[in-house]
Amino acid sequence: MTKKSLAVLPFVALLAAGCGDTWGKRAVTGGAIGAGSGAVVGAATGMGPLTGAVVGGAVGAGVGAATTPSRRDYNRYGY
């Protein structure tokens, strides 16, 4: 069961990676995704689900905020 849940996590993260288009939304969704997957990994590795959720949430929020797409005005250029 542990190997299956660890194998599914990257796919879940990729499916949910596009959530939000602003800096704040991406940080919140990234933090939530990171906390959930960190809790699963923490429980599976013996680190504890709470510790995994805290670490995963912090990393997820940082990555979500850092990967916010730029908002260019494409209409101005006729695209």
Domain assignment present for 21: yes
Q: Number of folded domains in the chain?
A: 1
Q: What is the mean pLDDT of residues 35-57?
A: 90
Domain assignment present for 76: no
Whether the per-residue pLDDT at 51 is higher than 90: the answer is: yes
Q: What is the mean pLDDT of residues 19-32?
A: 82
Residue 67 confidence (pLDDT): 83
Task: Characterise 19 by phi-psi region: left (phi > 0), alpha (psi -120 to 50), beta (else).
Answer: beta
Structural tokens at position 20: 């939000």
Q: What's the pTM?
A: 0.64
Q: What is the mean pLDDT of residues 20-44?
A: 86
CA 2 and chain centroid, separation: 20
Domain assignment present for 51: yes
Residue 53 confidence (pLDDT): 92
Domain assignment present for 54: yes
Residue 54 confidence (pLDDT): 93
Could you tell me the residue range of the domain that residue 35 belongs to?
Answer: 2-70
Q: Among the ranges 11-20, 54-63, 66-75, which has the highest mean pLDDT value? A: 54-63
